[in-house]
């Protein structure tokens, strides 16, 4: 006597999609639940907080790099600055990478000029240069946390910052 699940997929109100889920329990009682489809975004910037108000030391973790990561990063940075951030720790531990351009854009927040990274494939090499106008966090004391699971785009961010800003 397992539960039976029936799904009725239908369009309602133009582009809105609703899902009706009918579930029969072991006693045979029917329960109907209306579900509405929605886009879910898994945030890639997490745990942003000011750790020490006196020092202005803030922390945030970047779990991966998606198209949305630079906007998420900028929103959290604005919030941390409003709380008195004067130094930042970015945690890249366990970050397996993702969208290279997003890592480049975050690196550019700290790097005013010069090469961030270059890539070479079958075609012409691509150079990602820093733009001074994007370097809104240049000069901010910064520490990065990386581990053996930090890879790909997170390595690009860490490497660019280490080479450009020093050790």
Per residue in 47-76, pLDDT (tens digit) is: 999 999 999 999 999 999 999 999 999 999
Confidence of residue 86 (pLDDT cuts 50, 70, 90): very high
The residue among 61 and 34 whose pLDDT is bigger is: 61
Which pTM was predicted? 0.79
Distance CA 22, CA 30 (A): 7
The residue among 124 and 5 whose pLDDT is bigger is: 124
- pLDDT for the residue 66: 97
Contact 131, 98 (CB under 8 A): no
Burial class (CB in 10 A: 0-12, 13-18, 19+), 106: buried
Distance CA 74, CA 57 (A): 17
Confidence of residue 8 (pLDDT cuts 50, 70, 90): very low
Q: For the residues 5-19, what does the mean pLDDT come to?
A: 49
Mean pLDDT of the chain: 89
Question: Over 60: is that where the pLDDT of 115 sits?
Answer: yes
| Contacts of residue 129, Cβ cutoff 8 Å, sequence gap at least 6 | 113, 114, 115, 116
Question: Over 80: is that where the pLDDT of 11 sits?
Answer: no
Question: Over 80: is that where the pLDDT of 99 sits?
Answer: yes
Choice among 8-22, 40-54, 127-141 with the minimum mean pLDDT? 8-22
């Amino acid at each position: 006597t397992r539960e039976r699940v029936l799904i009725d997929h239908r369009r309602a109100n133009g582009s809105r999609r609703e899902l009706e889920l009918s579930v029969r329990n072991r006693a045979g009682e029917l329960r109907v639940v209306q579900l509405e489809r929605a886009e879910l975004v898994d945030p890639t910037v997490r745990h942003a907080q000011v750790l020490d108000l006196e020092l202005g030391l803030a922390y945030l973790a970047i779990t991966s790099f998606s198209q949305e990561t630079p906007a998420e990063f900028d929103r959290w940075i604005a919030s941390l600055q409003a709380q008195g951030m004067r130094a930042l720790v970015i945690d890249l531990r366990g970050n397996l990478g993702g969208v290279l351009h997003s890592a480049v854009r975050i690196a550019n927040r700290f790097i005013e000029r010069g090469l961030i990274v270059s890539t070479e494939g079958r075609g012409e090499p691509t150079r990602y240069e820093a733009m001074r106008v994007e370097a809104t966090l240049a000069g901010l004391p910064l520490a990065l946390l990386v581990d053996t699971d930090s890879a790909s785009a997170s390595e690009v961010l860490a490497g660019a910052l280490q080479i450009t800003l020093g050790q």
